[in-house]
Structure 1
Amino acid sequence: MPKPYPEEFRRDVVAVARKGNAPIKQVAKDFGISEACLHNWLKQADIEDGNKPGLTREESAELRELRKRTKQLEQENEILRRAAAFFARGAAPKMRFPLVLELSADGFAVAVICRVLGFTPQAFCKWKKMPVSQRDWDDAHLIDAAREIHTDDPAFGYRFIADELGDRGIRAGENRVQRLCSQQRIWSVFARKRGLSRRAGPPVHDDLVVRDFTAAAPNLLWLTDITEHRTSEGKLYLCAIKDCFSNRIVGYSIDERMTAALAVAALRNAVAIRSPVGTVVHSDRGSQFRSRRFVHALSANGLRGSMGRVGACGDNAAMESFFALLQRNVLDRRHWATREELRLAIVIWIERTYHRRRRQRRLGRLTPIEFETINQPALAA
C-alpha cells in the first residue's frame, strides 16, 4: 500500500497547479506524482473551498468525532448507573477504586472510568500497585518537619534546617535536605535570586556525526535546521531535513512561527514518505530540537538524535550549505510581498529545481532524484 503524502505537501502542489503557470501534466511530473492523483487532490480542494458538492475532510472528521462521542457518552452513562447502584448499597466513597476493578473486568476502559468518577488513572494505579516506597514516606515527614522549622525562623536556609532536624532526632544528610527544600521552594528570605541566562541549553543527544556528512545508503543520516526570511507580512520560517546519501530534502515544513511544532511537522513529513528505522537525525542545539515534543517524535519513530556544539557552524555545515544555496537562488532574488508568495517559491525551487534539475558534482553530475533512482537497484542487490 503506498504511503500517503503529507498534508502540507498536498496543499503546496494544489496551490502550484491552481497558479496556472504550467499544465497539470507538467506540474504532476515536476512533483513526482501521477496526473490522476493531482486531479483527485484538486477535486478535493474544490470541495473544501465550497466550489463543488461533497463531504469535506472537516465534515468527515466531525462525523467520526460525533460517532466517537456518542459511544463515549453511552459508556459514561452506563458507568454512572453502575456507580450509583454500587454506592446505593452503602459503600464508602473510599471504595471507588474496587469499583474500577469491577467495571474494568466488564470491558470498560480504566481511563474512562477514572474520568467519570472524578480521579486520575495514576491514582488508581498507585492504589493498585502500592508504589509508595519507604523513602518517599520518610521524605514526606522530613518535608513537614522542614516546613515547621522554616516557619519558625524563615531567615535561615537548608543548612540551618539540616542542623535542626538532627536535634529533633531526624537523620538526614545535608544534600538530601537541600534537594527537598529546593523542590518545595523552602528558601531563606535573604537568598539571592538567580539571574536569567540566555546561554544555549545542554544537548539532549551526543554528536554521532562529528562532521562526517557521508552515508552509504538512504535513510542512514539526516540533517535538519531552520532558516528564516522576511516578507512584507513578517518572517517566514523553513525547517528542512536532508538525506546525506543523495542530498535530497526528504521532509520540510514552512510556517510563520519558529516553534517546536515546526520541527516536529518536518520530521513527520519525512517519516511519512521515507519510513526509516534507526536513522540518525543531526541538528544544532536550538530549543526546537531540544524540546520534549521533538525528542519524543524521534523516539516514537525509531530515530536517533545527534547534536553539534554551540556556535560551531561546521558541525552542521552540509545543512548550512543547502540554506546558503536557497538564499542565493530564491530568498535574496527579490523582495517578497506575502508569505504565501515566498512559500510557493521555496516549494517550487526545492521540488522542481533542486530535486529534479540541478546536477551536483558529488553525485556524479546527477540530480538527487536521479542518484537515488540509479542506486536503488544496486543497494537492493
Structure 2
Amino acid sequence: MAACIAALPARAQVWVPAWTASPAPDRKDGTPDKPVQFANQTVRQDMRLGTSAKALRFRISNELGVAPLKVSALSAQLAGGKGKPLPVTFDGRNDIVVPIGAALLSDPVPLSVPAMAEVALTVYFPEPTIAVVRRTPLRVAEGKVAAVADTVKLSYLQNVVSAVYAERATKPTIVVALGDSITEGATATRGSHGQWPELLGTRLQQVCPDQFVVLNQGISGNKVMDPGRSHSALARLDRDVIAVSQADQVILFEGINDIRHGGAPEMVPGRNADDMILAYRQIAQRLHQHGIKAYAATMTPFGGSERYEPVSAKTRTTLNTWMRGKDSGFDALLDFDKTLRDPTRPESLPDNITRDHLHPNDEGYVRLANAIDLSLFGCRAK
C-alpha cells in the first residue's frame, strides 16, 4: 500500500542569521578556586540584530563543550525592559541539555524586532557550567531570577548563544567578517556595538535599509593556519561561515597572530609568507566552491607592540603587497593597512587610536568601518 503523505502548508517567510558569535574553547574565565564560568547564576546577553524580524530563533551551542550543557528558564525580550519576556523553548521544553559537540535551535519566538534593535536573552545555569562561545558583554546575577537589571555591571565572558535567526520576507545579502580580536572588537567600549563589523552593518542599514546583514565571526587570538586559543580560520570555516551564516560575501581580516613570534620565553618564529599565502588561497577557493565572494583585508601595523620584530614586520609587508596584486584569488581588497597606519611611521598605528600598538580603539574601529566602500557589497545610495 502506498503511503499517503500530506503536504505541509508553505511558509512565505525565510529564516536568516541576524547575529552570530563563533564557538570557542574555554578561555579559563573562571578562577583557580572556581574554574567554571557560571554556577547557579542567571545570565543576560543583549544582542543587536542586523535586520528586522517578525520572529526569532536562538541557537545554543555546545559544539566545543567537554560536558553536557544544561540550561533552563530561557526567555527573550527587547532590551531595556520593553515588553513582556517571552519563553524560549526547544520542542516545547524550557529546560534542555545540549549534548557534547552539538547545538540546538529553539522554537520560533513571536517577538517582532526592528533592525538594529537589541534583544535580551536570559538564561539560567542551574549547575556548574563552562560556556564555549566567544566572549561577549554579559550581565550576570546570582541565583535564579526572572530578569537581570540594567544596573548589573557588564562583564566580558563566554556564553552559549552562537546565533540568532530572524524571520523575514526575503533573504538579505549577508556579509561575514572572519577574523581575530580586531574583528571581534575586544578593545571596543563594552556594550557600545563599536566593533567595525557592527559599525559597517549600521552604515549599510542607513544607506540600503534591510538589504544587508553583517555578521561578526571574529575570535580573539584566532589564527589563519594554526590552533591556539581557538580553532584556526581554516579549521572553523565550514562551521562558522559556510554552515551557519548563509554568507554571500566574506571579509577575511587576520594573520597577525600567525606571523608574530610566540613570545617569551620560547620566541618561536611565526609563519612565513609562503605558508600564509597557501592558507589565504585555500579559504578563498573553499568559499568560491559555495558561491561565496571572498574579500581580503590587509594586515594593520603593529610596530611598538610586545611581539613586534623585523622578521614578522617584513612578512606582513610581503603579504599585504601580495593581497594588493592581481593574482591573490580574492574578489576584492579592503586596504585596512592604508586606512589605519601612521603616515609618518608606516609600521605603526597612530598613538591616538591605540593603547597597545596592536588593537585599534573606538576611533580606530570607526575609521575602519567608514573607509569601506559600500558599493563593494552592492549597496549604492539612491
Specify which structure has the bigger relative contact order, considering alpha-carbon pairs within 8 angstroms and separated by 6 or more residues: 2
| Structure number with larger C-alpha Rg | 1
Q: Which has the higher strand share?
A: 2
Bin of the TM-score, shorter chain as denominator length: under 0.3
TM-score (norm 1): 0.28
TM-score (norm 2): 0.27
